[in-house]
Amino acid sequence: MTSELFSPLSLRSGQVLGNRIAKAAMEENMAGRDQVPDSRLLALYRRWASGGAGLLITGNVMVHAQALTGPGGVVLDEAAPLEPFAAWAEAAKSGGGAVWMQVNHPGRQVQADMPGVVWGPSDVGVDLGRHSSRFGRPTAMTPEQIEATVARFAATARRAEEAGFDGVEVHAAHGYLLSQFLSPLVNRRTDAWGGPLENRARMLLDVVAAVRSVVSPSFAVAVKLNSADFQRGGFSADDARRVIGMLVPLGVDLVELSGGSYESPAMTGRPADARAQAREAYFLDLAKDLVTTSPLPLMLTGGITRRDTADRVLDSGIALVGMGTALAVTPDLPERWRTGREADRPLRPVTWSDKALASAASMAQVRHQMRRIARGSDPRPRTHPVRALFSELLLQRQALRRYRAWLPAARPGAGASRPATEP
């Protein structure tokens, strides 16, 4: 069996990852008071740090306090205290691996009951059929709002480095803001940010350039990109190939390939079309095609749970294997692989016919496992999805009350009354 899985990976920035296994980003929805990390996130990342992965990538950290994917989101902006983030970085590096902060803006993928802003490249809402009302109706961003958001990404990255993180990953996948700009289905603009791919990629390229300009050369900068949106007429594998080429001169270390969005949740194994493999390594076929022309190292995430699958991914030319759900269920899986063992049990599958509801339940199951790890318990992968989803809804309701109280007090002028005009 190949030993490449446990060989080091050198990046353009000079950073060296200890092996080819990364804990991919999963949205923890576990912010403490003031939307910052607390003891739960520290405990969770210490557990992962001891599990043997060469790299831990955090769940998405929000660059804009008024725009969160959920009320339990962590916010790192100019006003956030740095000490909790420094403690988070220290915990995540306690096992000797590297830690990168994933930085993100949700754009239009914001729950309808959230205060703050719902922005997008255009005023095209999330289409989930009968579930569409769960999301707010977006307003098209002004040029000033776009430029201010680019600056927010850079500020978050700069502060992440100050806190002790080893890098950032700019989230441009899964239907969040930068992915929305890339998508011809969502981006209907006719100005400098719309139309041909070069324009639709402008915001992502500006974000990456701004981030690289404010961090050290040795600080890693990665991008998470959809290999495809899995929606007819959406962002395609050929688009992904071209965007990867655009990122090369900007000092990017790595591109992580994933796929899907809330409308087509391929990242949970339930796409709206059939181009994602059903069980393991959902996006490997598309990645195999992209790796033949990519001048940047690629990381593949999505449905990888077994050592032989990870070896197959590396054998295809992919540089780094990303795992999310597998490490929420078995946090020491890399160490197990090193000694020839596998996970004991997989996460209980969700086979509901309603794809949007099944995707929400799948994510709730994963977060249920993370919360168990955070409080010092072992994961319980056979938890019923209905129980996980109900628990998630209760916690979200509590978090929403806290966020509604926190936002106007902590960020004056950031309540629900003036969102559309603020840059």
pLDDT in tens, 78-117: 999 999 999 999 999 999 999 999 999 999 999 999 999 9
* pLDDT-above-70 percentage for the chain: 90
**Taking 60 as the threshold, does the pLDDT of residue 263 lie above it?**
no
How does residue 1 score in pLDDT terms, banded at 50, 70 and 90? Answer: very low
Residue linked to tokens 């390939």 = 257
The average pLDDT across 19-44 equals 97
**Taking 60 as the threshold, does the pLDDT of residue 371 lie above it?**
yes
pLDDT of residue 286: 83
Beta bridge partners of 99: 56
The average pLDDT across 118-123 equals 97
Say what the pTM is: 0.93
pLDDT of residue 267: 47
- CA dist 164 to 35, 271, 290, Å? 19, 37, 33
The average pLDDT across 159-178 equals 97
**Taking 70 as the threshold, does the pLDDT of residue 264 lie above it?**
no
Distance of CA 298 to the CA centre of its chain: 16
266-318: per-residue pLDDT in tens? 444 444 444 434 456 678 888 888 999 999 999 999 889 999 999 999 999 99
**Taking 90 as the threshold, does the pLDDT of residue 50 lie above it?**
yes
Q: Which of 229, 226, 235 has its CA nearest to residue 273?
A: 229
pLDDT of residue 231: 61
Least confident of 31-40, 125-134, 371-380: 125-134
390-418: per-residue pLDDT in tens? 999 999 999 999 999 999 999 987 655 43
The mean of the pLDDT values for the chain is: 91
**Taking 90 as the threshold, does the pLDDT of residue 261 lie above it?**
no
212-222: per-residue pLDDT in tens? 999 999 999 99
* pLDDT-above-90 percentage for the chain: 80
Residue 278 C-beta-side C-alpha neighbours within 13 Å? 2
pLDDT of residue 228: 66
CA–CA distance, 179 with 171 (Å, rounded to integer): 8
CB-CB contact of 282 with 325 (8 Å): no
The average pLDDT across 362-383 equals 96
The average pLDDT across 352-377 equals 93
Please report the domains of the chain, with CATH numbers, ordered by start residue: 17-345 (3.20.20.70)
**Taking 50 as the threshold, does the pLDDT of residue 169 lie above it?**
yes
CA–CA distance, 285 with 299 (Å, rounded to integer): 13
How does residue 251 score in pLDDT terms, banded at 50, 70 and 90? Answer: very high
pLDDT of residue 418: 37
Task: Tell me the two tokens of residue 343.
Answer: 């996970």
With a CB cutoff of 8 Å and minimum separation 6, the contacts of 185 are 124, 229, 231, 233, 234
∠ CA 26-28-32 to the nearest 5 degrees? 155
